[in-house]
Every structure is written in structure tokens, then in C-alpha cells.
A and B are shown apart, each in its own frame.
Chain A
Amino acid sequence: MARHARKTRIDWILFVVLLAGTLATCGPFAWMLATSIKPGNEVFVFPPTLLTGQPQLHNFMRLFGTIPFGRSLVNSLIVCLSITLAQLIVCSMAAYAFACLTFRGRETLFLIYLAALMVPSQVTLIPNFILVRNLGWIDTYQGMILPFAFSSFGTFLLRQYFMTIPRELLEAARLDGCKHWRIYVWIVLPLSRPALGALAIFAFVSQWNNFLWPLIVTTRPEMQTVTVALSTLQGQYNTDWPLLMTGSVLAVAPVLIVFILGNRAFIAGLTGGGFGGR
């Protein structure tokens, strides 16, 4: 009994410590939001005010009015949704071949795809830039989308999941004369919704936050994605902190919403496809 009481006490202390820790992890978000609604001159008072007495949406208006920030949000949305959709199709097709079909060279090709995971994106950066430039794809959506339309990670994730689908099911369908594309569309994909969901969220979030590639393949402000637009904003309005924080709020909010709604799937995908008990 005494031990139980001690355990509860320790748990309470740890709970409080954890709560204090969340202040460190979430504090910057709160500060971002608090600064975004401050009047411009109020950021230069000392000591800083935590919450402004005169909240205002002036900065949001400026971002959407004078600066084409809305356009960059739309660009990010177009690019990220396209990449997500492309990865879902391309990776699931490849995963179907690896998990459900037998063919010569299957293991070798799979290993080659896996080996691609070892290649840091910065290594292929320069040749890809030259390729995209020669194709005349600078400042185009395809230039931002196609280099990310395939993902080794996604193929691996889906293949692992497809392997858990009972073989008898696929064989029965084959014996009924079902063609492969029908099995893929009507049996394998519907049964793999959790894995597809995990990949979708993962792809969307990582592409939304992608910076270096869109930075080097865009030159016109109208084509910039939100991260690039944000860095341009920093260059132009160096000390306009309320404006910069407003941009950050807009850049962060969509992903945080997607994540909070789908955090289980995201984390499952991240930790190697451990889908609750499978």
C-alpha cells in the first residue's frame, strides 16, 4: 500500500515536470501567435507584453493584400496534394509488384530501391537542378512535383503492409479469373487504408515543410511555396516581427491541423509501420 502511494506521488511529480516541458515545446507557437496580433510598435517595448491590449488583424490583411502570400499558400497546397497523390499511386503500384507478384529480379530491385534511402537529397540536388533547368521547368509546378513523385520510403512502408494481407484472398481472386489491376484496385488498396493514410499524411507534411528544392527551382514570387515565401519575407521585412510571425502562423497552421487530426497514423508510419497490433 505504501509503495502504491509512493508511485502515485512520483507520477504526480513527473506529470508536473512534463507539463512544464510542454511550455518549452509549445511556448514558441504561443509567442508566434501573440506577436502576430500585436501592433507594430508594441514589439519594441521592454519588458515585452505577453498579450497585447489591442489585438488586431492588420498583419493578416497586409499579408493577403500587398504581398502575394495567399498565392504561396495555394502553390504549396497544389504542390503538396499533387505529390501526395502521386506517391500514393506510384508507391502502391510498386509495392503491389513487390508484395503480391513473383518475377525475376524482385529481391534485387527491392534492395536497389531501399538503397536509395541512404542517398541524402542534397547529393542529387545539383544534377536534379540541372535536369529541371534543361527541361525548362524552373518556375513550374511539374518541376516541384515530379522529383518527389516517387518515394523509396513510401514503397517500403506499403510493401510491408501489403505483405500482411492474407495470401488466400489474393489467390482466390486469381482463381476466379480476376486480373491484377482489379485485385490491386478492389482488394489490396481498400484493405490498406491505414497504411495509405499514414503515407499520405507523412508525404503531405514533409512536402509542406520542404524548403531547399522549391527555393532553388523558383525565381518568380508567384511560384514560391509557403516556406520560400516566408524566407523572402524575412529578407524584405527584416525587423517587422509581427508580419514575420503572421506568415509563420499561416505556414504552420495547416500542418498542425493535419497532424493533430491524423497523429496516430503519422506516428505509426514513422516508427516503421507498426499499425496497432499488426
Chain B
Amino acid sequence: MAARSKLWRRDTQAAWLFLLPSLVLFIMFIAIPVIAAFMISFTEWDLFNPMKFVGFGNYTKLFNDDIFKKVMGNTAYFVLASVPLQMAFGLAIALVLNRNIKGQTFFRIAYFLPVVTSTVAAALVWSWLFNSNFGIINALLQMAGVTNPPKWLASTKWAMPAVIVVSVWQNVGYAMVLFLAGLQNIRTDIYDAAALDSARGWKRLWFITLPMLSPTTFFVLIISIIGSFQVFELVFIMTKAGPANATNTLVYYIYQNGFQFYQMGYASAAAMILFAIVLVATLIQYRMQDRWVHYG
């Protein structure tokens, strides 16, 4: 007994030594900053003058801020359009690749390349593609007989769809990879049993594959929602939130208030809204993951 407790104590000592570097960095750059962000959100502070406590002032200001309302509307538009699109394409490609089609590795890499591409570079290329005068997209549209193609990034109506296209382009590969992993986890004996019941094709897809895949689908949904709420680089490079705030989104608004207007308190309050959204999405995922139904 004494020997065991001695061994155990040595373990404890060693453990904290092994944990030391991560603990220092975690406390310094994650734990304290989270608490600090929360506290700063109750102040008015421009970095240069003394901090002023304003209670819930920033939050009430946010909810009465017309631009912030527009920003939340834009963010919702972006999320509601880009998440279903990237999931639908990702699932379709994964289903096809899962048929053990020729060139599977090639396709997997080709569709995944945009995911590892720098969003800044991707946004630049797409700005060039969407250029309303000399871009290739409008050139193709004109060749196809569209006489008055959209002005894309310069138009309040078409700028957001353009940003959404790029986001979908960049994230389809990620959804695809997650769906592929999910498909490969479905036990093959279920398909064998289904084959005996002569369930094939669409029927098999609808009644077996999709229900069995539902935990993955749900996971991809939550991950994509969280990711989409954080869209920033695309907006920064493609539109600078314009025209007339038509593409201003939550994280861009945080950046704008914090690092262009130096309203640290106001920006922190907006960051807390983002935090709350991500937290709720994560908790839903956490609560659902064990209970998610599949008719297995």
C-alpha cells in the first residue's frame, strides 16, 4: 500500500510537470482572455483613455443599433444559404465516391484542395472571377446571351450571393470528407440484410443510408453553422463589408468596431453574442450526439 501511494505521488508530480507548458499557455491566452473579454464587454474603452464601466450599456446599444440588426440579418442570410448548399453538395459527392468509383483518391484531393487554400488567396481569385467588367464569370454569362449580367461585388443585391458561392466552393470538400467517414462507418451487414429484402437504389439510400448517416449529418450541420457564423476573410477581401453594409457580418463588425473604431467594449459585446451562438450550437450537438436516432 505504501509503495503504491509513493508510486502514485510520483505520477502526480510528473503529470504536472508534463502539463506545465500547456497550462501556462492555456491560462495566458485562452482562460484569462475569455474572462477579460466578458468583463471588457461591460465597459467603454478606446485603449487610450481610462476604461469606463457602463453595465449592460453596450448590449442595449447593440440591440438598438440599426447597423448591427443589418449585420445579424446578413449573417443569418449567409448561414442559411451557405450551410445547406455545402452540405448538399458534400453529401452528393461523398455518396458517389463511396461507390468505389474510379479515381477516388484523385477526386478526394481535387475536391478538398479549396479547404486547405488560404481564404485570403481564394477570395482574391474569386474577386477577379466576379469582376463585373473583365471577370470570366460575366464573360461567360455574356457569351451565353445574358445581356446585362450582375455587377456582383459592386451590387447590394448580388454581393452576398457572390460571397456565398465562394464559401460553398471552399467548404464542400470538408463536408464531403466528414460524410465519407460517416458512410464508411455504416456496417455492411445492414446493406446485406437490405439486399435480401431487395431494397436497392433510391430506396436503399432513403431508408437505410440516410437514416444511418444522420449522426454524421447532424455533426456536419453544427460544425458548418459554427464555421459560417465566423465568416470574415471573404468579406474583408471581397467587399470590405460593402456596398452599403450589404455584406457586413458579425465577425467583420467585431473587427470593425475593435480595430478600426477602437471601441473595445462595444466590439467585445458583439463578440459575446458570437460566443453565445457558438456555445448554444455546441451544447445542442453535445446533447444530441448520444440520443440521435438511427433505425439500426
The closest CB in chain B to the CB of A268 belongs to B181
Judged by a CB distance under 8 angstroms, whether B215 is at the interface is no
Which residues of the other chain, A, contact B259 by a CB distance below 8 angstroms? 129, 216
In the complex, which residues of chain A have a beta carbon less than 8 angstroms from the beta carbon of B126? Answer: 28
Residues of B within 8 A of A172 (CB): none
A160 at the interface (CB under 8 A from B): no
In the assembled complex, B289 has its CB within 8 A of some CB on chain A: no
Contacts of A186 in B (CB 8 A): none
Expressed in whole angstroms, the Cα–Cα distance for A127 and B47 within the complex equals 11
Complexed CA–CA distance, A15 and B295 (Å): 31
Contact flag A24-B169 (CB < 8 Å), given A93-B19, A123-B272, A244-B124: yes
Contact with B along A201-222 (1 / 0, CB 8 A): 0000100110110001000000
Interface secondary structure of B, over-half rule: helix
Q: Which residues of B contact A14 (CB under 8 A)?
A: 96, 99, 101
Contact A128 B29 (CB under 8 A): yes
A267 in the interface (beta carbon within 8 A): yes
Say yes or no: is A164 at the interface (Cβ < 8 Å to chain B). Answer: no
- B15 at interface (Cβ–Cβ under 8 A)? yes
Within 8 A of A (CB), among B270-287: 271-272, 274-275, 278-279, 282
Also in contact, A22 and B271, with CB within 8 A (given A93-B22, A97-B15, A103-B16):
no
B128 is an interface residue with CB less than 8 A from chain A: yes
Q: Is the interface of A mostly helix, strand, loop or mixed?
A: helix
B112–A267 CB distance below 8 A: yes
Let me know if B26 and A150 touch, CB within 8 A.
yes
User: Total interface residues on B, using CB and 8 Å?
Assistant: 83
> Is B160 interfacial (CB-CB < 8 Å)?
no
Contacts of A35 in B (CB 8 A): 128
A227 in the interface, Cβ–Cβ < 8 Å? yes
Partner of B113, one of A96, A101, A230, A259: A259
A190 within 8 A of B: no
When distances are taken between beta carbons in the complex, the residues of chain B under 8 Å from A17 are 96
Cβ of A271 within 8 Å of any chain B Cβ, yes or no, is yes
1/0 contact string of B29-40 vs chain A (CB within 8 Å): 111111011001
How many chain A residues sit at the interface, stated as a range, is 35 or more
Are A209 and B118 closer than 8 Å at their CB atoms? yes
B63 to chain A, nearest CB (A): 19
B25 in the interface, Cβ–Cβ < 8 Å?
yes
Question: Is A22's CB under 8 angstroms from B110's CB?
Answer: yes
- Find chain B residues with CB under 8 A from A267 CB: 108, 112, 177
CB of B25 within 8 A of CB of A120, answer no
How many Å lie between the Cα of A113 and that of B31 in the bound state? 10
Which residues between 219 and 244 of chain A lie within 8 Å of chain B, taking CB atoms?
226-227, 230-231, 234, 241, 244
Annotate B199-232 by CB proximity to A: 1 below 8 A, 0 otherwise.
Answer: 0000000000000000000000000001000101
Q: Which A residue's beta carbon lies closest to that of B107?
A: A18
Q: Complex Cα distance A247/B110, Å?
A: 22
State whether the Cβ of A180 lies closer than 8 Å to any Cβ in chain B: yes
User: Does B128 contact A123, Cβ atoms closer than 8 Å?
Assistant: no
| A180-B271 Cα distance, complex, nearest whole Å | 42
Q: Report chain A residues within 8 Å CB of B110.
A: 22, 25-26
Q: Is A192 an interface residue (CB 8 A)?
A: no
State whether A123 touches B274 (Cβ < 8 A): yes
Q: A93-B21, A97-B15, A116-B26 in contact; A126/B264 too (CB < 8 A)?
A: yes
Interface string of A247-278 (1 = CB under 8 A from B): 11001100110011001001100111010000
Select one of A32, A119, A263 contacting B34, CB under 8 A: A119
B113 contacts A127, CB within 8 Å?
A: no
Tell me which of B6-14, B52-60, B74-82, B147-155 binds A.
B6-14
A101–B15 contact, CB under 8 A?
yes
With contact pairs A150-B26, A244-B128, A259-B116 given, residues A127 and B36 touching in the complex (Cβ less than 8 Å): yes
Q: How distant is A219 from chain B, measured CB to nearest CB, in Å?
A: 11
Q: Are B251 and A231 in contact (CB under 8 A)?
A: no
CA distance in complex: A267, B93 (Å): 16
Once the chains bind, are A271 and B101 in contact (CB under 8 Å)?
Answer: no
CB of B288 within 8 Å of the partner chain? no
B152 to chain A, nearest CB (A): 15
From B14, B32, B107, B178, A22 is in contact (CB under 8 Å) with B107
| A153 in contact (CB, < 8 A) | no
B278–A15 touching, CB < 8 Å: no
Q: Does A57 contact B (CB under 8 A)?
A: no
Q: Is the CB of B34 within 8 A of A124?
A: yes
Most chain A CB within a 10 A radius of its CB, from B14, B15, B93, B258: B15
Q: Which 7 A-B pairs have the closest CB atoms?
A: A127-B33, A150-B25, A127-B36, A124-B33, A94-B22, A97-B18, A103-B15
Interface residues of B (CB under 8 A from A): 8, 11-12, 14-16, 18-19, 21-22, 25-26, 28-34, 36-37, 40, 47, 93, 96-97, 99, 101-103, 107-114, 116-122, 124-126, 128-129, 131, 134, 136, 139, 143, 169, 172-174, 177-178, 181, 226, 230, 232-233, 236-237, 251, 254-255, 258-259, 264, 267-268, 271-272, 274-275, 278-279, 282
